[in-house]
């Protein structure tokens, strides 16, 4: 080739592209002008190094989720739209049939003699074999309730510590504590969601957000940063929600732990 290669050809060649790479390679060995032009291009492009990307920790994905989750909820279709899909209409019809059946059964039930008054009793009935599976499910649920209640109690303590902290101070122990809680919190939230415990999952979700704030807080924390964390905890009424859900879980745990057939009277209730 008598002509010289263009700058565009040489740029493509530098990046390993172009259909005439072999021709260009041979030409560069013969033509000093093109070889010089190529050296200039390659030299300049070699100066442009890939920038180092700032580190993002293991919790980064969760942080991103916390930032966008409200927008995701806003963008979701209205709940009833889900049931308008053809494949869901069958389920809707089945639910309607069950509802009617339950209504009819309820009407029949009303004519049965009234049940014995619900007085406190310790009488227990042996559980039939057919209820073993249900009992296992109850045990699993009870374990979950207990674990989540304990987790919420621990979280309440770290939140309280942070809310009452005087600034500026080192929050490193609270940060480590929050980091541990954060890992378990995600598991419990997932379990709670799987078990249909929506309100529990929702509080755990909000809790995670504040735990992330604490984990990512600078050391020592400034008054302004501490104030921001406190404001977010207050704005979400998080401490209140954590206490309420924890109490509720304790009560349910207590209720499911009692043997079948026992009904607690008012005297059995905790007065604390």
Applying CB under 8 A, which residues contact another protein? 7-8, 11-12, 15, 17, 40-41, 43-45, 47-51, 53-54, 56, 60-65, 67-69, 71-73, 75-77, 82, 190, 193
Work out how close the CB of 81 gets to another protein at its nearest, in angstroms, rounded to a whole number: 9
**10 vs 178 by CB, closer to another protein:** 10
**67 vs 243 by CB, closer to another protein:** 67
Q: Residue 169 forms beta bridges with which residues? A: 221
| N-term to C-term CA, the chain | 96
Question: Taking the CA of residue 60 as centre, how many other CA atoms within 13 Å lie in the half-sphere pointing to its CB?
Answer: 5
Q: How far is 176 from 65, CA to CA, in rounded Å? A: 22
**12 vs 35 by CB, closer to another protein:** 12
Q: Residue 238 forms beta bridges with which residues? A: none
Work out how close the CB of 201 gets to another protein at its nearest, in angstroms, rounded to a whole number: 9
**75 vs 107 by CB, closer to another protein:** 75
**47 vs 119 by CB, closer to another protein:** 47
Work out how close the CB of 21 gets to another protein at its nearest, in angstroms, rounded to a whole number: 13
Work out how close the CB of 78 gets to another protein at its nearest, in angstroms, rounded to a whole number: 11
Residue 221's φ and ψ, nearest 5 degrees, are -80, 140
- Identify whether the C-beta of residue 210 lies closer than 8 Å to the C-beta of residue 229: yes
Q: How far is 118 from 261, CA to CA, in rounded Å? A: 10
Q: How far is 217 from 182, CA to CA, in rounded Å? A: 14
- Identify whether the C-beta of residue 266 lies closer than 8 Å to the C-beta of residue 122: no
Work out how close the CB of 108 gets to another protein at its nearest, in angstroms, rounded to a whole number: 39
């Amino acid at each position: 080739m008598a002509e010289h290669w263009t700058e565009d050809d040489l740029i493509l060649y530098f990046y390993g592209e172009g259909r005439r790479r072999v021709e260009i390679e041979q030409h560069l060995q013969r033509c000093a002008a093109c070889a010089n032009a190529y050296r200039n291009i390659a030299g300049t492009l070699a100066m442009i190094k890939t920038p180092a990307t700032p580190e993002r920790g293991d919790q980064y994905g969760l942080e991103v989720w916390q930032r966008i989750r409200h927008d995701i909820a806003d963008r979701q279709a209205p709940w009833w739209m889900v049931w308008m899909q053809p494949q869901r209409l069958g389920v809707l019809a089945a639910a309607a049939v069950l509802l009617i059946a339950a209504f009819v059964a309820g009407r029949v039930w009303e004519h049965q003699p009234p049940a014995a008054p619900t007085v406190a009793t310790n009488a227990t009935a042996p559980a039939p074999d057919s209820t073993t599976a249900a009992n296992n499910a109850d045990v699993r649920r009870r374990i979950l309730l207990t674990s989540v209640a304990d987790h919420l109690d621990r979280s309440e303590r770290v939140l309280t510590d942070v809310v009452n902290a005087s600034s500026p101070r080192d929050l490193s122990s609270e940060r480590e504590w929050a980091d541990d809680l954060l890992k378990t919190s995600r598991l419990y939230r997932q379990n709670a969601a799987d078990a249909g415990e929506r309100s529990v999952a929702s509080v755990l979700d909000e809790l995670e957000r504040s735990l992330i704030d604490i984990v990512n807080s600078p050391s020592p924390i400034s008054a302004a940063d501490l104030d921001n964390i406190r404001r977010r905890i207050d704005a979400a009424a998080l401490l209140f929600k954590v206490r309420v859900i924890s109490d509720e879980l304790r009560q349910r745990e207590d209720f499911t732990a009692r043997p079948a057939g026992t009904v607690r009277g008012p005297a059995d209730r905790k007065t604390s």
